[in-house]
Amino acid sequence: MHRVDNFQDLQSEATEWRRFLHQTPELDYRLHKTARFVAEKLASFGINHIETGIAETGIVALIQGEGGDGPTIGLRADMDALPILEVSQKPWSSTIPGKMHACGHDGHTAMLLGAAKYLAHTRNFKGTVALIFQPAEEDGRGGQRMVQEGIMDRFEISQVFAMHNWPGLEVGKFSICDGSICAALDEFDIVVKGKGGHAASPHKNVDPIVIAAQIILGVQTLVSRNTDPTESLVISVTKLNAGQAYNIIPEHAEIAGTVRTLAQALRDFAERQIEVCAKGIARAFGAEIEFRYRRLEPLVINHTEGTNLALKAARGLVGPAAVDDKCKPSLGSEDFAYMLEARPGAYIRIGNGPTASVHHPAYDFNDEALPYGIGYWVNLVETALAAGN
Ligand code: NI
């Protein structure tokens, strides 16, 4: 098991890669420059099995160990940026107005490249490492598409792991938990269909705005009055559109929002009960509704065996005191969920120090974290695929 000092000499090179990627952010699947950069680097490390163009701009590259036959472990990094105008004013700031690496996927890519360089050089493991560089994490579909395009079966990946930087967690620390670590993400739309007319004669109309207001308050009670308070459910109404004039009661009001939860049963509950609640309120006032609910991203559920492996790799790198094994799950979502639905494994957080939060225009990945991320990947591979076992 390596301590982090073994990876300090990769830091300056990985910092250069990270800052290059930071200056040239690309969005969703349109990661042509990023993917070319990654593939060129991988080839320069002596990796000869590199498959590009998976899910448009995703890459899977294989490194064979010299310790004999063994299973294949998948390590995933996301590569896409966000449509945000950067305000950090760092010398390596985004050169493309309105696009920036505000979630640190530049750092994730650089850390996996650093690990690839090390592992391709040492090959001190049995079996195979599959390096997975995915597009379109932010739109929540890139991971799913890579799975749909068959990477798990085609590359015979038996376990899969991911890492995300975590502002607020000190550099050199890791945190993880067994079970749900990121939330399921769903969206809903409710159209309240009333009866429009002159605002001066409300008794001749069915006012969808007043009904929408009741529905918005009503669905909040699903969280406060119908859900076990020790469990997590978020129902946020994030859009409300109705009316165009001071003197007209409109025909329709449109409500939209998001649901986040850490438990499958609560997801089923929310989907069912938001509709029941909205429909009941609308009927009480003489209106009808149209209801749509979309399940966008599954829960990220860490598997016990994968979590234990991740803990071992991180503790070996930074010592047990720097690894929190019972972190609070986040109500954010992460499309690594699709990979964990396909194969067992785990998702871990790596400290990014006191930076701005992810998705903030002043955010920047912390280059001090690079050797920790590289070291974690190497320890994980050399533990999961220990030569001689
Ligand atoms: Ni992210």
Three-state SS string over the chain comes to: CCCHHHHHHHHHHHHHHHHHHHHCCCECCCCHHHHHHHHHHHHHCCCCEEEEEECCCEEEEEEECCCCCCCEEEEEEECCEECCCCCCCCCCCCCCCCCECCCCHHHHHHHHHHHHHHHHHHCCCCCEEEEEEECCCCCCCHHHHHHHCCHHHHCCEEEEEEEEEECCCCCCCEECCCEEEECEEEEEEEEEECECEECCCHHHCECHHHHHHHHHHHHHHHHHHHCCCCCCEEEEEEEEEECCCCCEECCEEEEEEEEEECCHHHHHHHHHHHHHHHHHHHHHCCCEEEEEEEEEECCEEECHHHHHHHHHHHHHHHCHHHEECCCCCECCCCCHHHHHHHCCEEEEEEECCCCCCCCCCCCCCCHHHHHHHHHHHHHHHHHHCCCCC
Predicted TM-score (pTM) above 0.85? yes
User: How do strand 184-193 and strand 252-261 relate by DSSP bridges?
Assistant: antiparallel
105: CA distance to ligand 1 center in Å? 6
Q: What is the pLDDT of residue 248?
A: 97
164: CA distance to ligand 1 center in Å? 7
27: CA distance to ligand 1 center in Å? 13
Tell me if domain 4-180+300-384 and domain 184-297 are identical in fold: no
104: CA distance to ligand 1 center in Å? 6
333-375 per-position pLDDT tens digit: 999 999 999 999 999 999 999 999 999 999 999 999 999 999 9
Q: What is the pLDDT of residue 88?
A: 83
Q: In this structure, are residues 223 and 257 in contact, taking their beta carbons and an 8 Å threshold?
A: no
50: CA distance to ligand 1 center in Å? 24
245-274 per-position pLDDT tens digit: 999 999 999 999 999 999 999 999 999 999
- Burial (CB < 10 A; 0-12, 13-18, 19+), residue 353, is middle
185: CA distance to ligand 1 center in Å? 14
Q: What is the pLDDT of residue 139?
A: 85
Q: What is the pLDDT of residue 137?
A: 96
Q: Please tell us whether the domain made up of 4-180+300-384 is placed in CATH 3.40.630.10.
A: yes
257: CA distance to ligand 1 center in Å? 21
89: CA distance to ligand 1 center in Å? 21
Angle at 183 between CA 181 and CA 184, to 5 degrees: 135
Rounded-to-integer distance, Cα 212 and Cα 287, Å: 10
- Please state, for a pLDDT cut of 90, what percent of the chain lies above it: 98
143: CA distance to ligand 1 center in Å? 12
Neighbours of 177 (CB within 10 A): 18
Rounded-to-integer distance, Cα 387 and Cα 214, Å: 63
Residue 389 pLDDT exceeds 70: no
78: CA distance to ligand 1 center in Å? 7
19: CA distance to ligand 1 center in Å? 17
Domains of the chain, by residue range, sit at 4-180+300-384, 184-297
221: CA distance to ligand 1 center in Å? 31
209: CA distance to ligand 1 center in Å? 37
290: CA distance to ligand 1 center in Å? 33
Rounded-to-integer distance, Cα 146 and Cα 132, Å: 9
Q: Which residues contact 5 (CB under 8 A, 6 or more apart)?
A: none
Q: What is the pLDDT of residue 260?
A: 96
Class of the CATH domain delimited by 184-297: alpha beta
367: CA distance to ligand 1 center in Å? 16
Q: In this structure, are residues 368 and 171 in contact, taking their beta carbons and an 8 Å threshold?
A: yes
Per-residue confidence band for 89, with pLDDT thresholds at 50, 70 and 90: confident
Residue 286 pLDDT exceeds 70: yes
12: CA distance to ligand 1 center in Å? 23
Residue 7 pLDDT exceeds 70: yes
48: CA distance to ligand 1 center in Å? 29
138: CA distance to ligand 1 center in Å? 7
Residue 243 pLDDT exceeds 70: yes
CA pseudo-torsion sign 301, 303, 306, 312 = positive
272: CA distance to ligand 1 center in Å? 30
333: CA distance to ligand 1 center in Å? 9
Question: pLDDT averaged over the chain?
Answer: 97
Per-residue confidence band for 331, with pLDDT thresholds at 50, 70 and 90: very high
Tokens of 244: 């165009």
34: CA distance to ligand 1 center in Å? 16
- Please state, for a pLDDT cut of 70, what percent of the chain lies above it: 100
1: CA distance to ligand 1 center in Å? 28
Residue 65 pLDDT exceeds 80: yes
335: CA distance to ligand 1 center in Å? 9
106: CA distance to ligand 1 center in Å? 10
Tokens of 85: 């105008």
- Burial (CB < 10 A; 0-12, 13-18, 19+), residue 97, is exposed
Residue 172 pLDDT exceeds 80: yes
Q: What is the pLDDT of residue 140?
A: 78
196: CA distance to ligand 1 center in Å? 44
230: CA distance to ligand 1 center in Å? 27
